[in-house]
Amino acid sequence: QKEVEQDPGPLSVPEGAIVSLNCTYSNSAFQYFMWYRQYSRKGPELLMYTYSSGNKEDGRFTAQVDKSSKYISLFIRDSQPSDSATYLCAILMIYNQGGKLIFGQGTELSVKP
């Protein structure tokens, strides 16, 4: 079983729709959860991070963590064509000198005007 599972999509929605992107993870010891966004032909960039159960909002984006179910979600409200990208969930594993990320497979999102 992969440590982090993510539906690869692709996902296509009309402009203005609410988008839900999801990941599950296997190790209950994981504590830090991140979402990266990757535009075509670019490297991933950090979108949001959270380390506790519950919701965290940043503008149109909401990251949700349910540690009891080992489930993390990213919601995008009022989606825009500029949100079209691949979204990667990631779990941060801590070691003495820093952190190592474990990524999901990424979900390709297309928002149609």
Partner 1 sequence: DVKVTQSSRYLVKRTGEKVFLECVQDMDHENMFWYRQDPGLGLRLIYFSYDVKMKEKGDIPEGYSVSREKKERFSLILESASTNQTSMYLCASSTGRAVVSTDTQYFGPGTRLTVL
Give the binding-site size for partner 1 (rule: CB under 8 A).
24
- Enter the DSSP assignment of 17: -
Contact 49, 33 (CB under 8 A): yes
User: What are the b/e assignments for 17-29, b being 16+ CB within 10 Å?
Assistant: eebebbbbbeeee
Q: Which is nearer to partner 1, 17 or 22 (CB)?
A: 22
> Rounded to the nearest 5°, which phi and psi values hold at 81?
-55, -30
Candidates 24, 44, 62, 76: give the one binding partner 1 (CB under 8 A): 44
Mark the segment that binds partner 1 (CB under 8 A) among 11-19, 60-68, 73-81, 100-108: 100-108
Binding site for partner 1 (CB under 8 A): 6, 8, 32, 41-46, 49, 51, 88, 92, 94, 97-106
